[in-house]
A and B are shown apart, each in its own frame.
Chain A
Amino acid sequence: MRSWFNRLTNKEQPSVEPTQAKNTQGIYARFHIQYPGFELKVDLDLPGHGVTALFGHSGSGKTTCLRCIAGLEQADIGYLEVNGELWQDTQAGVFIPTHKRSLGYVFQEASLFPHLSVRGNLAYGRKRIDRTQRTSWDHILDLLGIGHLLDRMPDRLSGGERQRVGIARALVTNPRLLLMDEPLAALDLKRKGEILPYLERLNQELDIPVLYISHSPDEVARLADHVVLLDQGQVIAQGGLQETMARLDLPAVFTEHTGVVIEARVAEHDDEYHLTRLDFVGGSVLVTERPEPLGQRLRFRVDARDVSLSHHRVEGTSVMNILPVRIMDIATADTPAHVLVRLDVGGSIFIARITRRSCDQLGIAQGMDMWAQIKAVALLV
């Protein structure tokens, strides 16, 4: 027997009463499901608040995992507990059907009911929850900017509007868990840009744990607090966004996206050169002028490809952002020509992707102090 299975079977027997499992916060999910040619075997321990991104390539089992949590897919062996409520335990014979789970699900395509107006779609789920659970939907309509669409039929909405209605429809049921399966995947870049700010506001203003599937690193970096990396039906890594993204020991499939996400604050605007300084733990970077006010929190992402290393502070370069770093460790990359070098910048972690030849020629080793040139900073707004 595999260790995963042992852990499942050795777990203390949960009480049969579904709603009185462990009185804890958090989402515990264990699923084992087998299809011809595909096996999903996951063991997740996720925070009961904030946004958790399920990240991985297509076919990695993200959607199956989410469907298991929703009860749309019934795992052969499964255990699921959401903030103290037991939703599934195959051993105890517990399986709460989807329609009795307090969840919201946003599908890749908005999947609005074509025979109902926007109002009808929104009311569909809301009518079916307990009267005492119903709250005014005005706030959600405001958050998603769809108040003016209520009387439209779905075929008269744009793709972005439809998806916003889909999200609102899930939210007005006042769910205890929001599941989103690549809600932006079916949209073009412009529409994505149209919805992302709404999603960010949701996360800031509503206190619902969100599981968010994505295969876009930028989307994950921008929205998630917590990340689960999935590959071939297995969990490769899970943890806080910054730690997980800064790990070097991930399989090759993820290293093409290697980079770090840094939490920063707007520190200074330079009106002459139209630049903005962002401070983060251990340093600061200059970026082209930002509209955000001083003190505003921002996330930026630095791709490992955009970081180069030198022994001395390089003079006469056009690169603006040069930071003193200490080498933490070195790992192989997805090609034998490259290595990944993890850098400590006064407490924040950066990753540089350099050739193995340069690494040897410069004699880079753990503990060495060097300078890092940051060629590009991607702001996640």
Chain B
Amino acid sequence: MPLSDHDFSAIRLTLELASLTTVLLLIVGTPIAWWLARTRSRLKGLIGAVVALPLVLPPTVIGFYLLVVSGPHGPVGQITQSLGLGTLPFTFTGLVVASVFYSMPFVVQPLQNAFESIGDRPLEVAATLRANPWDCFFTVVLPMARPSFVTASILGFAHTVGEFGVVLMMGGSIPDKTRTVSVQIFDHVEAMEYAQAHWLAGGMVVFSFIVLLALYSSRRFKPGLA
């Protein structure tokens, strides 16, 4: 196998990035999905649109704006600097933040669909059985939406692994810190190192295919009360 240490470090980095991003997305995305599924607020459309933006925007646009906004002169950059955190571009933390934003719809939307299809009834049933809203969320909603949590995690993870434009735009291609597999493949292709590119790119194809195969062939059941 013609893979170099750099290639393996890119693979390890990518897996770390995707795992961390997925965990953060579940923590951040669940309340957002819940709110979107339950609210009657007029802000629902606005927030929903913002969450869905990465679906339609070219990654380079997102990467560019993240670069500008979180740079030393950007508003986010000013805040992170005043907190003594430095700036996000060229750091692993920056990639995580960007990935959380970029993969958000892939986690929020399946969860939102699940929460919407669960509907009010199970919550009402739980309330009449003395469960307070938090209790109800953890003992009824979460278990009922479990298949969707699996879907959301897989999609969020896979999408982060496949993310390229944003990482390219604000990562700076630093080995062990921001040079992920997709960037590494791009560099190999640009440098006409086709053998290495093939190993990595082929690996990505196989990985993505297995993920989607698992997703599509898993038994999908719609949440609902019996």
Query: So, do A and B actually touch in the complex, CB under 8 Å?
Result: yes
Which positions in A face B, CB cutoff 8 Å? 70-72, 97-100, 103-105, 107, 109-115, 124-125, 128-129, 153-155, 157, 162, 169-170, 173
| With A114-B226, A157-B226 as contacts: A128 and B130 at CB distance below 8 Å | yes
User: Cβ of B127: which chain A residues have Cβ within 8 Å of it?
Assistant: 71-72, 97-99
Q: Complex: how many Å from CA A52 to CA B223? A: 35
Which positions in B face A, CB cutoff 8 Å? 121-122, 124-133, 135-136, 139-140, 143-144, 146, 223-226
The 3 closest A-B pairs by CB, nearest first: A125-B129, A154-B226, A128-B130
Instruction: Please state if A99 and B130 are interface contacts (CB–CB under 8 Å).
Output: yes
| With A157-B226, A162-B226 as contacts: A113 and B128 at CB distance below 8 Å | no
Instruction: Please state if B224 and A104 are interface contacts (CB–CB under 8 Å).
Output: no
A140 to chain B, nearest CB (A): 15
User: What are some 24 contacts across the A-B interface (CB < 8 A)?
Assistant: A99-B126, A99-B127, A99-B128, A99-B129, A99-B130, A103-B128, A107-B121, A113-B122, A113-B225, A113-B226, A114-B224, A114-B225, A114-B226, A115-B143, A115-B146, A124-B129, A124-B139, A125-B128, A125-B131, A128-B129, A162-B226, A169-B129, A170-B128, A173-B130
Instruction: Please state if B128 and A112 are interface contacts (CB–CB under 8 Å).
Output: no
User: Cβ of A109: which chain B residues have Cβ within 8 Å of it?
Assistant: 121, 225
Instruction: Please state if B131 and A99 are interface contacts (CB–CB under 8 Å).
Output: yes
Nearest A residue to B127 via CB reads A98
User: Cβ of A114: which chain B residues have Cβ within 8 Å of it?
Assistant: 144, 223-226
Interface core residue of B130, B139, B143 (most chain A CB under 10 Å): B130
Q: Complex: how many Å from CA A157 to CA B136? A: 24
B50 to chain A, nearest CB (A): 31
User: Cβ of A71: which chain B residues have Cβ within 8 Å of it?
Assistant: 127
Q: Complex: how many Å from CA A103 to CA B124? A: 12
Instruction: Please state if A99 and B122 are interface contacts (CB–CB under 8 Å).
Output: no
Q: Complex: how many Å from CA A104 to CA B146? A: 28
A80 to chain B, nearest CB (A): 15
User: Cβ of A170: which chain B residues have Cβ within 8 Å of it?
Assistant: 128-129
User: Cβ of B140: which chain A residues have Cβ within 8 Å of it?
Assistant: 113
Nearest B residue to A169 via CB reads B129
| With A157-B226, A162-B226 as contacts: A111 and B125 at CB distance below 8 Å | yes
User: Cβ of A154: which chain B residues have Cβ within 8 Å of it?
Assistant: 226
Instruction: Please state if B226 and A128 are interface contacts (CB–CB under 8 Å).
Output: no
Nearest B residue to A106 via CB reads B128
Instruction: Please state if A173 and B226 are interface contacts (CB–CB under 8 Å).
Output: no
Nearest A residue to B130 via CB reads A128
| With A115-B143, A115-B144 as contacts: A110 and B128 at CB distance below 8 Å | no
A65 to chain B, nearest CB (A): 15
Instruction: Please state if A104 and B144 are interface contacts (CB–CB under 8 Å).
Output: no
**CB-contact partner of A70 in B121, B122, B128, B226, under 8 A:** B128
B132 to chain A, nearest CB (A): 5
Instruction: Please state if A112 and B226 are interface contacts (CB–CB under 8 Å).
Output: yes
Nearest A residue to B136 via CB reads A99
A85 to chain B, nearest CB (A): 15
Interface core residue of B126, B129, B130, B140 (most chain A CB under 10 Å): B129
| With A72-B124, A112-B225, A157-B226 as contacts: A129 and B130 at CB distance below 8 Å | yes
